[in-house]
Amino acid sequence: MSHHILHILKHGCVLGKDRGFITCRAEGEEEKRLPFEDLRAVIIAARGVTLTSGFVSAVLETDGIILHCNESYQPCGVTAPLGRVVDTKAYLHQAERPERLNNRLWQHLIRGKTVNQLKVLKKRQLTSPHLELAVKDDYFDEGNCARRYWQLYFPSIGWVSSSRDRRQDNAPNNMLNYGYAVLSALCHRSLLVHGLTPLLGVKHTTRYRADPLVYDLMEPFRPAVDLMMAEFMVGEDVSMKAWCKKIGTQLREQRVMHERFSLKLMDAIDASANSLARSYSEKSDKPFWVPELE
């Protein structure tokens, strides 16, 4: 089973394929090698990187995904495997856009996100009566829940702001943007692997240059990135480059609860995407599984 997220941070390196291995060559350094079947995602976060056709095809043939970033570490594109139909009923039912089923699936997703936000706050020795009431009553005013969450979260990591704006050019927001982008690449891959089209969302609207089902699936996983950043901010090196190095390892090692046992986060994304496909196949929200942070 693939389990590595490879971050490329060395400027000017060349990525290639040699038999069963991905190779990375950089001037003045020894060649690095990794079995390409172990790769789930490759994050290109350096300038002047050369991707050979052998490298790209090796990653895609094993259902890996490549996330491309600009010079500011901001994601700007994805190279993904071809879509496929795994379960004809799941694909056709998704294409029908079943409103009642999608509404129920969205409730599961947003509830999972709120539960995990509460767990992040608890680890920061905080709580939110508003979020607790939303979970208890199954009434989720997403905008208000998000606002209350960020008002508590940002001060807890030593940041002066109390609101989340992905367009703001500051360290916490840029780091969250990057972490969410890596997370979205993993979700994108899982949806394709399990035969769903990312272009048709549960709740998010189809629009230009967007993959709404990716944004839907990643909602309950977002707090995992928030927790990683909160832990990262207490370290000695809190630079963007250090965060890029950390996020790949953390996304691989972080665990979430699955009934009576736990799963690695990357495997949990696969499990959730698979359960979503089964929900569409059966036209029922009962098979759908949403993770909870440990």
Most confident of 123-137, 205-219, 279-293: 279-293
Measuring CA to CA, which residue among 176, 259, 261, 162 is closest to residue 221?
A: 176
Lowest mean pLDDT, pick from 65-74, 244-253, 273-282: 244-253
Q: Locate CATH 3.100.10.20 in the chain.
A: 4-79
- Adjacent-strand bridge partners of 44: 8, 68
Mean per-residue pLDDT, 282-293: 95
Query: Is 131 in contact with 119 (CB distance < 8 Å)?
Result: no
pLDDT on residue 81: 93
- β-strand 21-25 against 14-18: which pairing, if any? antiparallel
4 band by pLDDT with thresholds 50, 70 and 90: confident
Tell me the CATH number for domain 4-79.
3.100.10.20
Mean per-residue pLDDT, 1-21: 86
Full strand arrangement of the beta sheet holding 292-293: 261-264, 255-258, 292-293
According to the 3-state scheme, what is the secondary structure of 209-259? CCCHHHHHHHHHHHHHHHHHHHHHCCCCCCCHHHHHHHHHHHHHHCEEEEC
Q: Locate CATH 1.20.120.920 in the chain.
A: 88-293
pLDDT tens-digit series, residues 195-205: 999 999 998 87
Q: Exposed, middle or buried: residue 164 (CB in 10 Å: 0-12, 13-18, 19+)?
A: middle
pLDDT tens-digit series, residues 101-159: 999 999 999 999 999 999 999 999 999 999 999 998 877 788 889 999 999 999 998 88
pLDDT on residue 250: 84
CA distance 232 to 242: 9
Tell me the CATH number for domain 88-293.
1.20.120.920
168 band by pLDDT with thresholds 50, 70 and 90: low
Length of the chain: 294
Two structure tokens written together for 114: 């709120």
Average pLDDT, the chain: 90
Two structure tokens written together for 276: 């979503």
Q: Judge whether residue 70 has pLDDT over 90.
A: no
pLDDT on residue 90: 96
pLDDT on residue 126: 95
pLDDT on residue 141: 82
Mean per-residue pLDDT, 270-287: 97
Mean per-residue pLDDT, 11-38: 91
CA distance 48 to 52: 13
228 band by pLDDT with thresholds 50, 70 and 90: very high
Mean per-residue pLDDT, 265-292: 95
* pLDDT over 90 percentage in the chain: 61
Mean per-residue pLDDT, 1-17: 86
pLDDT on residue 235: 84
Is the model more confident about 57 or about 167? Answer: 57
Q: Looking at the whole model, is its pTM more than 0.75?
A: yes
